[in-house]
Each structure stands twice: as C-alpha cells, then as structure tokens.
A and B are shown apart, each in its own frame.
Chain A
Amino acid sequence: MHPLLCRWDLDKTYLRSEFDTLRTLVRTAFERAEDKVEIPGVAEVIKAIKAAAARRARTALVYFISASPPQIGKAIRAKLALDGVPYDGIVFKDQLQNLRRGRLRNLREHVGFKLVELLRGRLAAPSDARELLFGDDWESDSLIYSLYADVLAGALDAGGLEPILRRIRVDPELIAEVAVLAERARGLGGVERIFINLERRTPPAIFRHFGARLVPTFNYFQTAAVLAGDGQIDPGDVVRVAEALIARAGYTDRRLENSLADLVRRGHLASAMADAICAALRGAGILPPTTAATSRWRRLVASLRRLRRPRHPAPVVPPAPAATAPLDYEAILNRLRPETRPLPAAATATPREEP
C-alpha cells in the first residue's frame, strides 16, 4: 500500500492555543506542557490513523509544521508525549532569524514558510506517498494546503504560483525557494484530503471555493467520520474518538448524532457510512439501541433521502477528492485577503482535465 503522510498544523489544530492578545501570546509562549490544552479528540484521531495503518501493514508518518518559534519546542514535545501521540517529526519557524534580518512581516506571514516546509517534506518522502493535511480556520491553512495540493496535482506550476504569492506579499526570497521546490514536486500528486478544523466557527460556505478535497469540520469526531468514509480508519476507530469526546469534553450522544447528520447534509459523508458509524456507536453503547419507531438517526436519514430523491436523481456520495475542479484562486483571495490586489489574468491555476 502507498505510505501515508499526515501533516498537522499545531496551534488551533492540535492545541487550543490562545494568542488573540499580546498577553495570551506571551502566556502561551511560556506555558508548560501540562498547562497546554489539546483540542478534544485530536490525539485520538492521530492514534487512530497510526493504528489503522498498522493494521493494514501500511506506513503512516505524522509530522507537525508549526509557525511557532523553536524555543517552545521542548514544551510541545513534552505535551505530545503526555498525550501519547505518536509522531515522526516536527518543524518550527525560526522567528529569531526573521527578527535578526529585520523581516518583521515574515513574523506573521506563514504562507511562504509553510509551503517551503510542505514541499521539502514531500520531496523527502516516498514518491508514491498519499497525504492528509490538517489545519484550522485561523490563518491561511486552507489556502496553503490547496496551493500545495494543486502543485502536487500538476494543476499549478511555479509560474502560476508566483503571482498568487506576490499578491499576498510573501517574502521574495521565499517565493523563489517555493518556485524551485514546486517545480521539483510538481505532478507527484497524492493529497487526498485537507481537513480544516473550524475552531473559529467560520461558516463552511466560505470554503466552497476550495472544492470537495477540503473538508471543514467542527470537531474531531467529524474528522474521524470523514476519515472512516475515505477508508483511512475504521468505524471502530471513530468510536474511540467518540468515547474520548464523551469522557473528556462532555459530549453527549445527541451532539455526536447531530455532528454526523451535519456531515451528511453537507455532502461530506455518505449515508451508508453514517449508518455504519452509528451501528458501531450503538454497539459500543454510546448511542441508545435502535427501535423502528424511535430511531432518531433513521428518521433523519429517511427524511434526507425523501428530500433528495426528487431533486437529485443520483445518490449522494461524497465526491472523490482527486476529481476536484480547478480552484479559482482569484476568487479565493478576493474572499480571504480582500485587501490584496487582484491577480493578472494569466496567474490563475491551469485547468485540469476531469478524469
């Protein structure tokens, strides 16, 4: 089987870091490992990916890419150890170097840094690797991961990438580095899913421009469910994530059911997989046993089917991530970075053929 490469952002994706104000930023920087708080269920998702890969005799590598400075690395590594999270590498952003070189803008601009690290990591990984990318809605993870995935898919070349990076004012030195790496990595392919943790509760509609490859999720139970739908983990793994959420984050069976129904309605999970997950949850005693008259989930699915039958003759199945339409980065940037200037006409992604 193809090796699996999972790349995780750290703050707001793994850790519930707070840096909304200078005070919380400083506090976060000096926090001890035991004071750091992970987002509920995230550790179980990583463990589930590793465990499922092991069951299938597949290599799964987990890497973290963080825009935090390496000075907090010790606390982060200790935190990951405390959580029992198996990982294979972690990269920090050398903010001191940016300070020394007077590149203050680079302190806050992470697109160039993350693209370089993603491309470097991909070039160092086996060429047939498949990738899952995990980020959040606080900064530009959706944009960074999509650009990266499009480069790998061959939909975006260095010539198309450069104007986009210029528009968002990435450091010219980093643009040049990205361009070189992008040319080498172009066409390697393999990004199967991009998960965006909606820590800020950004409306999911905002992410429609990114296509079906990107899945915004409200909690890690939803992430686990989509991973199960993609065959990366099993429904039993989803149950373990659910158990962790119930035990440590006060989740209830209804919150889990509602989360699943939301995924089905948004078209990210097939009803059959939702049924399989519900059966596993029921088997574990998390959901109450079903009865024909009272199963709330059955009613939801039935109503969904009734609704969709006349309007959508084809069954609703989540589209395959590889078949995403070319992304319109101009529209994306107009929405995400409206303060930046529009791209020249030639700078959008080169259209890709639908399989």
Chain B
Amino acid sequence: MPIIAVDAMGGDHAPDEVVKGVAQVSLSTDIECLVVGDESRIQHVLEAVPYNPEHISILHARDAIGMAEEPREAVRTRKDASLVVAVRAVAEGRADAAISAGNTGACVLACAKHFRLIRGIRRAALASVYPRHTEYLGQDRLALLLDVGATVHCEAEELVQFALMGNAYARRISKVASPRIGLLNMGSEETKGGEALVETHRRLRELPGVDFVGNVEGNDLPRGRADVIVCEGLVGNVVLKLIEGMAELFGDLAGVAAERRIAWRVGLYLLSRGIERLRALTDYTQYGGSPILGFERLFLKCHGRSNAHAIANAVKVAAKAVRDRVPEEIGAAIAALR
C-alpha cells in the first residue's frame, strides 16, 4: 500500500480538518498516511475522533508556512516547516506522494526544490479538475485544466508537454482511454492566439497518439468538448478562480432572492433536489486535489479551505496516482516525444 505524506499544518482549517481526514482514510482504506506537523497537536486531534493507528504515522515538524507568506522566502528559510518536511520525506523515499492544503506557491516551490523533473520535462504544471457538462454517455463529468498556476507564461514546447501530462493523468486517474485534448485560446481557428499558441496547435495536431480537438474557447470549458484543456498558468488560474467565483455567486444570489420574496423561497424549495445535485457537482471536496505534474514524485495540492472529506479524497486520489504509476506514464509519453 502506498504511503502518503500529509502536511497537517497547511490549509485554513489545519490541523483539525486535515487530521480528521487522515483518520477517515485510516478507517476505510489500507493507505498509510505519514502525517507531518506538530506532533502533540496532531495526536490531540486524532485521539478525539475514530481512527486506526495501524495506518497512521506521525513525523514531527515544528514549523509551518502560513497561507499568506511569501512562498520563495518561506521555502528557502523554513526548513522545518511541515510542508517542506513532507516533500522531503517523499523525495527521500519515506513516502510515495504528498498532499497539502497549504500555500500553493510554497507547494510548487517545495516540489521544485526537492523533487526531480521527469527526464525531458521542462516545467511542472499544476492541474485542476473542474465539473463540466458531458457530451456522451460515460464521459467523465470532470475535465482537467492545466496549468493553473505553477507557471505564468509558457512556450509551445512546454504547452505540448502539459498536454502529454494531462493526457497521461486522465488516462490513469479518470480512466479515459483516449482523452480529448483542447488548447485554450481566444478563437477556434488555428491561427489565433499569438506565436506560442499557433506553434502549440501545430505540434499537437501532428502528435501521434493524442486526440487533439483543436482550440477551445472560454465558452467551451463548461461543455464536454475536451477532457484535458491546456493553457499557461496565468490564464488557467484566472479561469479556475472564475469558475469557483461563479459557483459561489449563484449560491449567494439564490440565498438573497430567497430572503426577499416568499415565491422565490417556494421555488427554491421545489428545486432543492436539483440544486443539491448541482452543488454536489461543483463541490470541490469531492475531487481530491490538484496534482502537480512533471516531477518524478507526486504531489496533490488541496483547496485551502479543504475539510476532512476533501483531505480524505485527496489522500485516496494520491494513492491511486501512485498505484497507477502516473509519473512513469508521463515519462514514457515524453520519451516517445523525444
């Protein structure tokens, strides 16, 4: 069984929700969690919830990186921070993958500092799943968007590599035999988007073994046109936050409307089952986390507001990615490209 290093001190609700998530996993699976953080605080939370100690070990780390800290400086100077210790534990082979709900920039930089890039990979990418409409029976209701923040601007070579990483991840984790790859652009024509995107389009179109569907536009994102959408980090991050913001806005608007008019309240009550299903679809706690792809070792970045359920799902996804040998699949795809 894989061993997953869990940064217990990262996230808005750490360490309580993180430790509770680990406890949940310990009861329902054989996955072992190496919980990294303040041992006495971790143990205190653990003893107050049902857990199975056979699947939990604790690695003490006396420091933690805050959500608002400057990532580069924090990773450079805080060698005993739980995130850094967790990543180091994976790099040293004491765990097979790591997860954290902490500072995203610090997560990426800690991985960059301690993990080796897969041979041939130029830059790592942070990938994120998001809910979308499906176009055919059996299509995964989640699409993969990468990069969403590990980079700012990218060259064509890097975007092509992102496509291969996303392709491998979707094949292994979402079990999509031949994922449809789309390039996020400002138009469907292959000449749109500037030099890097035009070059990326050309190379992806010519790439054997990849089902490239061409450029996808913003309004294609919620549809099922592509299973993996490739973009540079700046754009991906904006898109991801926009999706989250819209979901929250709809919830808030419905709440305000319900307060103002009784007819709205009745209407929302009648629609409650559908709304619940919609909420479940957009519930980030179901998806686990966002993998940082491109390194020889795996790292999953969870949402900063992750609760125990989200952490538990992230641990399971990380274990699945280890078992399904995602980095090896990416490595093979990159080797074939060379």
Chain A residues near B79 (CB, 8 Å)?
A: none
Q: Does B177 interact with chain A (Cβ within 8 Å)? A: no
Number of residues on chain A facing chain B (CB within 8 A): 28
Closest to B38 in A: A307
Query: In chain B, residues 41-61, which have Cβ atoms closer than 8 Å to a Cβ of chain A?
Result: 43, 47-60
Closest to B92 in A: A294
Give Cα A266 to B43, complex, Å. Answer: 8
Known: A201-B50, A265-B39. A303 touches B32 (CB 8 A): no
Known: A261-B57, A303-B39, A307-B39. A203 touches B52 (CB 8 A): no
**Contact status A300-B52, CB under 8 Å:** no
Chain B residues near A296 (CB, 8 Å)?
A: 57, 94
Chain B residues near A304 (CB, 8 Å)?
A: 39, 60
**Contact status B47-A266, CB under 8 Å:** yes
**Contact status A311-B53, CB under 8 Å:** no
Q: Does A258 interact with chain B (Cβ within 8 Å)? A: yes
Known: A265-B39, A303-B39, A307-B39. A204 touches B57 (CB 8 A): no
Partner of A201, one of B32, B51, B59, B60: B51
Interface centre among A258, A261, A299 (most CB of B within 10 A): A258
Give Cα A259 to B56, complex, Å. Answer: 9
**Contact status B48-A203, CB under 8 Å:** yes
Query: In chain B, residues 12-47, which have Cβ atoms closer than 8 Å to a Cβ of chain A?
Result: 27, 32, 39-40, 43, 47
Chain A residues near B59 (CB, 8 Å)?
A: 299-300, 303
**Contact status A265-B55, CB under 8 Å:** no
Partner of A202, one of B40, B50, B52: B50
Closest to B51 in A: A201
**Contact status A201-B27, CB under 8 Å:** yes
Give Cα A299 to B60, complex, Å. Answer: 10
Give Cα A39 to B79, complex, Å. Answer: 44
Chain A at the B interface: mostly helix, strand, loop or mixed? Answer: helix
Q: Does A218 interact with chain B (Cβ within 8 Å)? A: yes
Partner of A307, one of B51, B52, B53, B60: B60
Give Cα A205 to B23, complex, Å. Answer: 14
Q: Does A105 interact with chain B (Cβ within 8 Å)? A: no
Chain B residues near A266 (CB, 8 Å)?
A: 43, 47
**Contact status B58-A265, CB under 8 Å:** yes
Chain A residues near B58 (CB, 8 Å)?
A: 261, 265, 300, 303
Give Cα A150 to B40, complex, Å. Answer: 31
Known: A262-B56, A265-B39, A304-B39. A205 touches B47 (CB 8 A): yes
Q: From residue B91, how far is it (CB to closest CB) to chain A in Å?
A: 15
Chain A residues near B39 (CB, 8 Å)?
A: 265, 303-304, 307
Partner of A258, one of B43, B55, B60, B62: B55
Q: From residue B118, how far is it (CB to closest CB) to chain A in Å?
A: 26
**Contact status B57-A258, CB under 8 Å:** yes
Partner of A255, one of B43, B47, B50, B54: B54
Q: From residue A203, how far is it (CB to closest CB) to chain B in Å?
A: 5
Give per-residue flags for A235-277: 1 if the beta carbon is below 8 A from chain B beta carbons, else 0.
Answer: 0000000000000000100111111011001100000000000
Q: From residue A310, how far is it (CB to closest CB) to chain B in Å?
A: 10
Q: Does A100 interact with chain B (Cβ within 8 Å)? A: no
Give Cα A96 to B175, complex, Å. Answer: 58
Closest to A219 in B: B54
Known: A201-B50, A219-B54, A259-B53. A254 touches B60 (CB 8 A): no
**Contact status B50-A218, CB under 8 Å:** no
Q: From residue B47, how far is it (CB to closest CB) to chain A in Å?
A: 4
Give Cα A36 to B321, complex, Å. Answer: 39
**Contact status B60-A306, CB under 8 Å:** yes
Closest to A312 in B: B40
Partner of A204, one of B27, B47, B62: B47
Give Cα A219 to B50, complex, Å. Answer: 14
Closest to A300 in B: B57
Query: In chain A, residues 165-214, which have Cβ atoms closer than 8 Å to a Cβ of chain B?
Result: 200-205
Closest to A311 in B: B40
Chain A residues near B60 (CB, 8 Å)?
A: 303-304, 306-307
Give Cα A254 to B27, complex, Å. Answer: 16
**Contact status B48-A205, CB under 8 Å:** yes
Q: From residue B58, how far is it (CB to closest CB) to chain A in Å?
A: 7
Chain B residues near A265 (CB, 8 Å)?
A: 39, 43, 58
Give Cα A219 to B52, complex, Å. Answer: 10
Give Cα A256 to B56, complex, Å. Answer: 11
Chain B residues near A300 (CB, 8 Å)?
A: 57-59
**Contact status B53-A262, CB under 8 Å:** yes
Interface centre among A200, A257, A304 (most CB of B within 10 A): A304
Give Cα A323 to B57, complex, Å. Answer: 30
**Contact status A203-B49, CB under 8 Å:** yes
- 6 A-B residue pairs with Cβ-Cβ distance under 8 Å, sorted by A, are A203-B50, A258-B56, A265-B58, A296-B57, A300-B58, A307-B40
Interface residues of B (CB under 8 A from A): 27, 32, 39-40, 43, 47-60, 62, 94
Interface residues of A (CB under 8 A from B): 200-205, 218-219, 222, 251, 254-259, 261-262, 265-266, 296, 299-300, 303-304, 306-307, 311
Q: 6 tightest A-B contacts by CB? A: A262-B53, A255-B54, A303-B60, A201-B50, A205-B47, A205-B48
